[in-house]
Chains A and B, each alone.
Chain A
Amino acid sequence: MPRVLIAKTSLDGHWRGVNVVARALRDAGFEVILGGEMRASDIAVVAEQEDIDLIGLNVGGRVEVAERIIATLSDAGLGDIPVFAGGTLPSSGIERLAQLSVQCFPPGSSLKEIVSAAVELTQVDPLDKK
């Protein structure tokens, strides 16, 4: 089954949305690794070692921190791992991340849509891969 790493970009301590999304993905058949508050370099290491198929970023802070993580992944040769994001992202942040092919799900997004996006990004129905 596809493996999703979920990480928080900021040290803001808000877990509500992270846990709800993680549970929805797990219930949909994904293997979810909750990485917590991770530095960019740690995300790259875990993504490689754990053979991660998709990275979900909870952006509780500014979009620059998420951009730095994506640049770090790219430098580590992991630019082909798809990334999607959620959190308190203003529309300007959503636009900037869209330019890096990162789809964003701000508060109020439907869990069904988030799961569909994860399925599409990993290009295989997780229930088939079980």
Chain B
Amino acid sequence: MVLRNDNWETSSGIPLRPVYTDTDVPDSSRHGLLGQPGEAPFVRGAYPEMYRSKLWRIFQLSGFGDPNDMNQRLKFLLDAGETGIIVKHDRMTDDHLYDVDHPEIMERREDVGLTGTVTVGLRDYEKILEGIPVESVYCKPGGGVAQSAPYTQSCYWSVAEKRGIPLKSLSGTGQSDFFLTYLGCPMREQIPPEAALRFNLDLIDWCTERMPKWVPVSIAGYNGADSGLNAYQELGSVFANAIEYIDGALARGNHPVEDFVHGIGGVNFRTSMDIFEDIAKLRAARKIWSDLLQSRYGISDEKKLRLRIHVVTAGSYMTYQEPFNNIVRGTVMALAAALGGTQSLGVSGYDEALSIPSDHAHLMSIRIQQILQEETNLAAVADPLGGSYLIENLTDELERRSLEFLEEIENRGGFIASIADGWLMRKAEEGNSQLAGDIESGRRRVVGVNVHPIDDSILEVEAFEGRSGQQSWENAMERLTELRHTRSETGTKQSLDNLCRTLDSNDNLIPAVMKAVQADASIGEIGHSFRQVLGNWTPPANF
């Protein structure tokens, strides 16, 4: 979706000239100040040989229906060549931490399992992971919103412990993202942002002490971008968020910054159809992080200054009309991610606007990446666009604008204050309205939607139904009933009392959540404890 008419500009409004020349290259790039790939400030890549030494990880969102459905889909994706797994949970039960017999869920029982897999407790996680080698696989076990992250990760870690695999050997990532929880998808009954910060700092402490190969939180610029923030707003706010984590962890005084910063420096961004801006965005991101850690926090060990990036291609750019066109869009967005030097990548399904991915759509997302990795020379050369007049110019411009936006956020009290009072949400809303208006007016052209539309059933795709009717809900009700009847009530109750006491104290939350899931507390009981002690967030009015 490129802007047409007389104004040629990037998606974030940076004017584009008809051609770029040597005079457009910033001094930093001209004088070799951007270093080599693998060297600070990492503009040219996080690692010296980039994809020659390690291809980007193929890392797709996946999940629907029952734990068994999830398990089968994971195995299908791994067989197809996925190199990391993501357990996506049912949003209704997981994001809200509701049991399936909660009145809000009963009202919408047909929706259960539609957006991810339903878990009633730890036993379901064992089913999800049956036959999956948790000792060697890289995994993101759900936990998009802050309040569900301790639950989903505790389940994953507990499965490993039960199999006798030490936590310190596990590799993977949590998410626990503020953008999703409080900006992109604000939902009912979420813990307040201050409590979410505490949860994330607990996760950071826990992983710093026990799990060197685990990224406890992953700031998701994607969720800000796909909610309407432009490229430099995405960068500025991601680093404003990271600053809150670093300052929070430093204020606790449990660990020096060098010990925990690795766990904060794994973030995600979005690529869209504006490929040059997106490539420049990933390059600028690495530089901003490296400079920030050096100048503000005095970190000198170069290895600690490295930002690792996961990219998700823009789901909102996937059209409902003519879904197969989205395979081309996914390819272009994936190309931008690789040219920008991403460490891992998820490509949205071509049926994104219709449903969660069918097995075919999922396979295509993997094939797109494999074709780029195997059949092109993308993997041969690090930072292949380094030195391009245009890319160097945009990288510099985005860095400048992002730092300005970051400063604006800091001047108004920081990231969490800007989430809490709705300021950042309004920025996203402005971006959304503008985009919708531009598509409506034809200023942004979308093939098959507002240009070159044809009406032909040859282009239609069946929406993936998953388990139809109330099946997932009925099956989950059965598992919940069984859980309640076959566990030790006393043990469960003690673990929940302990959880409430911990929530009410300054102690780290994670051991208490681990104990609760291991004592067969249900997802809803854990959520109930959170709500009881911490209360709920009231979203700012944004309309």
Query: A residues touching B (Cβ–Cβ < 8 Å)?
Result: 9-16, 19-20, 22-24, 32, 34, 36-37, 39-40, 60-62, 64-65, 68, 88, 90-92, 106-108, 110-112
Q: A90-B463, A108-B353 are in contact. Are A13 and B95 (CB under 8 A)?
A: yes
Closest beta carbon of chain B to A89's beta carbon, Å: 8
Known: A39-B103, A88-B320. 20 other contacts (CB 8 A): A9-B108, A10-B92, A11-B104, A11-B105, A12-B91, A13-B184, A13-B186, A15-B184, A15-B185, A19-B432, A37-B104, A61-B108, A65-B107, A88-B354, A90-B355, A106-B320, A106-B353, A108-B319, A108-B321, A111-B436
Given the complex, which residues of B lie within 8 Å of A34, measured CB to CB? 543
Give the distance in Å from the alpha carbon of A15 to the alpha carbon of B227 in the complex.
Answer: 9
Contact A107 B319 (CB under 8 A): yes
B449 interface contact, C-beta 8 A? yes
Hey, what's the 0/1 contact readout for B447-458 against A, CB within 8 Å counting as 1? 001000000000
Please, how many residues of chain B have a CB less than 8 angstroms from a CB on the other chain? 40
**Can you name 26 A-B pairs with beta carbons within 8 Å?**
A9-B108, A10-B92, A10-B114, A11-B187, A13-B185, A13-B186, A15-B185, A16-B227, A19-B429, A19-B432, A20-B436, A22-B543, A23-B543, A39-B104, A40-B107, A61-B111, A65-B107, A88-B354, A106-B353, A107-B319, A107-B320, A108-B320, A108-B321, A110-B440, A111-B436, A111-B440
Q: Is the CB of B104 within 8 A of A16?
A: no
CB distance from B380 to the nearest CB of A (A): 38
Which residues of A lie under 8 Å from residue B469 when comparing CB positions? 64
Tell me which residues from 105 to 134 in chain B have a Cβ below 8 Å from any Cβ of chain A. 105, 107-108, 110-111, 114-115
**Docked-complex contact A11 and B354, CB < 8 angstroms:** no
Interface positions of B (Cβ within 8 A of A): 91-92, 95-96, 103-105, 107-108, 110-111, 114-115, 184-188, 227-228, 316, 319-321, 353-355, 429, 432-433, 436, 440, 446, 449, 460, 462-463, 469, 542-543
- Cβ of B319 and Cβ of A16 under 8 Å apart? no
Instruction: Take A16-B228, A19-B429, A39-B104 as given contacts and tell me if A90 and B543 are in contact as well, using a CB distance cutoff of 8 Å.
Output: no
How distant is the Cα of A1 from the Cα of B92 in the complex, in angstroms?
35
Residue of A nearest to B98 (CB): A11
Q: Closest CB of chain B to A50's CB: distance in Å? A: 16
Chain B residues lying within 8 Å of A23, measured Cβ to Cβ, are 433, 543
Bound-complex Cα distance A23 to B184 (A): 17
Contact call A64/B355, Cβ cutoff below 8 A: no
Contact B110 A61 (CB under 8 A): yes
A61: chain B residues within 8 A (beta carbon): 108, 110-111, 114-115
Interchain CB contact under 8 A, A107 and B115: no
**Are B111 and A16 in contact, with the CB atoms below 8 A?**
no
User: Is there contact, CB below 8 Å, between B108 and A14?
Assistant: no
Residues of A within 8 A of B463 (CB): 88, 90-92
Interface contact A10-B108, CB-CB below 8 Å: yes
Across-interface contacts of B104 in A (CB, < 8 A): 11, 37, 39
B92 A39 Cβ-Cβ under 8 A: no
Task: Tell me, rounded to whole Å, the shortest Cβ–Cβ distance linking B24 to chain A.
Answer: 35
A65 & B436 in contact (Cβ 8 Å cutoff): no
Residue of A22, A61, A65, A108 with highest tally of chain B CB at under 10 A: A108
User: Which of chain A's residues have a CB closer than 8 A to the CB of B543?
Assistant: 19, 22-23, 32, 34
Contacts of B110 in A (CB 8 A): 61-62, 64-65
A18 and B353 alpha carbons, distance in the complex (Å): 15
Whether A91 contacts B460 in the complex (CB less than 8 A), given A13-B186, A22-B543, comes out as: yes
Task: Write the nearest CB–CB distance from B355 to chain A, whole angstroms.
Answer: 7
Q: Do the beta carbons of B114 and A62 come within 8 Å of each other?
A: yes
CB-nearest residue of chain B to A63: B110
On chain A, the residues within 8 Å of B429 by CB distance are 19
Write out the residue numbers on chain B whose beta carbons fall within 8 Å of the beta carbon of A112. Answer: 440
Question: Which A residue's beta carbon lies closest to that of B468?
Answer: A62
- Cα distance A19–B426 in the bound complex, in angstroms: 11
Q: Which residue of A lies closest to B228 (CB)?
A: A16
Chain B residues contacting A65 (CB-CB under 8 Å) are: 107-108, 110-111
- Bound complex: CA A36 to CA B186 (Å): 10
Chain A residues with CB below 8 A from B92, complex form = 10-12
CB atoms of B355 and A12 under 8 A apart:
no
Query: Across the interface, do B227 and A11 meet the contact criterion of CB distance under 8 Å?
Result: no
Name the 4 nearest CB pairs between A and B, nearest first: A13-B185, A61-B111, A90-B463, A107-B320
What CA separation (Å) do A95 and B217 show in the bound complex?
A: 43
Is the beta-carbon distance between B440 and A107 smaller than 8 angstroms? Answer: no
Complex Cα distance A91/B457, Å? Answer: 11
Bound form: Cα–Cα A90–B469 in Å: 15
Partner among A12, A36, A40, A90 whose Cβ is within 8 Å of the Cβ of B354: A90
Q: How many Å from the CB of A107 to the closest CB on chain B?
A: 4
Residues of chain B lying within 8 A (CB to CB) of residue A11? 91-92, 95-96, 104-105, 108, 111, 187-188
Closest to A110 in B: B440
Residues of chain B within 8 A of A22, CB atoms compared: 543
Q: Are A88 and B111 in contact (CB under 8 A)?
A: no
Q: Chain B residues with Cβ under 8 A from A32's Cβ?
A: 543
Candidates B91, B114, B449; contact of A108 at CB < 8 Å: B449
Q: B466 → chain A, closest Cβ, in Å? A: 10
Query: In the complex the two chains form, what is the Cα distance from A74 to B253 in whole Å?
Result: 60
- List chain A residues, Cβ under 8 A from B321: 108
Are B228 and A90 neighbours in the complex by a CB distance under 8 Å?
Answer: no
Cβ distance B210 to chain A, nearest Cβ, rounded Å: 31
Q: Which of A16, A39, A92 meets B316, CB within 8 Å?
A: A16
- A91: B residues at CB distance < 8 A: 460, 463
Q: Return the chain B residue nearest A64 by Cβ.
A: B110
- A19 contact set on B, CB distance < 8 A: 429, 432, 542-543
Given the interface pairs A23-B543, A61-B108, A61-B111, the reply to whether A16 lies near B432 with Cβ below 8 Å is yes
Kindly list chain B residues whose C-beta atoms are within 8 Å of the C-beta of A106.
320, 353
- Evaluate whether A88 and B440 lie within 8 angstroms (CB atoms) in the complex, with A11-B111, A13-B185 already known: no
Instruction: Tell me the smallest distance from the CB of B400 to a CB of chain A, in Å.
Output: 29
A114 smallest CB distance to B (angstroms): 10
Most buried by B among A22, A32, A61: A61
Chain B residue nearest to A107 in the complex (CB): B320
